[in-house]
């Protein structure tokens, strides 16, 4: 396990609400009068988490380039879940299993935004390749707006093998690509499904694509060839929910 700083009001609030036992201490900027920051400090004290008031310069140092808004928290991050955790997660989800697979998405802001969409869609798990992912860094946590604490992130040593495990468990896999005529809106996304997206530049890798049951695209009648991966993730996840009529 490794320790890192969670930076900003929303990320600290998410950590205190969803994973407080891993928060080691909270630093608040001296003279901070933001009522949300004050409420976070009181919440941390109620949870028996040490709260220290420190000069702004100290918070600037631990926050780096991120905007801390007057509050940071030292967090002991758990290890990412592994492929062995998948069967239990799928069994618990049953016919409602909805998995997001990100192949080659290494930008922390994009990964964080994808986790935010995944949490909003009540995704069963997000799977990333272990050697092509950034992990749950402070930037990822901030971009996820608390989503990183709400959805399991699984780092797969072998992504193709993880996809085959999904198929063996009865999950139908649809990859997203721009060079196919099949529309995502014509794919049946009810029941246990996994949606696979790649980076904007390279897309999903060939071996990953070959493992998919279907390959589809998001129709774009405008003069753009691709969407940001986090936007595309939101579109396809909520199309699945639309088909399932989740309210």
Instruction: Give the annotated binding-site residues.
Output: 198, 218, 227
According to DSSP, residue 84 is labeled G
Query: Residues forming the annotated binding site for S-adenosyl-L-methionine?
Result: 198, 218, 227
The span from the CA of 207 to the CA of 111, in Å, is 21
The span from the CA of 232 to the CA of 230, in Å, is 5
Q: How far is CA 229 from CA 101, 114, 218, 226, in A?
A: 11, 8, 12, 9
Other C-beta atoms within 10 Å of 157: how many? 11
The b-or-e profile of 117-129 (16+ CB within 10 A means b, else e) is bbbbbebbbbbbb
């Amino acid at each position: 396990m490794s320790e890192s700083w969670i930076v900003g009001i929303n990320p600290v609030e998410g950590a205190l609400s969803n994973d407080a036992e891993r928060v080691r201490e909270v630093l608040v900027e001296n003279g901070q009068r933001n009522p949300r920051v004050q409420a976070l400090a009181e919440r941390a004290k109620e949870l028996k988490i040490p709260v220290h008031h420190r000069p702004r310069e100290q918070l600037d140092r631990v926050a780096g380039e991120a905007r801390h808004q007057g509050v940071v928290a030292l967090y002991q991050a758990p290890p990412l879940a592994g492929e062995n955790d998948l069967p239990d997660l799928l069994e618990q989800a049953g016919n409602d299993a909805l998995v997001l697979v990100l192949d080659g998405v290494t930008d922390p802001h994009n990964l964080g935004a994808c986790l935010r969409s995944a949490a909003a869609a009540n995704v069963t798990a997000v799977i990333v390749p272990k050697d092509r992912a950034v992990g749950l860094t402070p930037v990822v946590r901030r971009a996820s707006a608390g989503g990183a604490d709400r959805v399991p992130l699984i780092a797969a040593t072998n992504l193709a093998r993880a996809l085959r495990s999904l198929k063996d468990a009865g999950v139908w896999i649809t990859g997203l690509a721009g060079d196919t005529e099949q529309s995502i809106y014509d794919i049946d996304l009810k029941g246990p499904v996994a949606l696979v997206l790649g980076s904007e530049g390279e897309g999903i890798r060939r071996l990953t694509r070959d493992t998919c049951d279907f390959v589809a695209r998001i129709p774009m009648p405008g003069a753009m060839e691709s969407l940001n991966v986090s936007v595309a993730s939101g579109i396809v996840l909520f199309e699945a929910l639309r088909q399932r009529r989740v309210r």
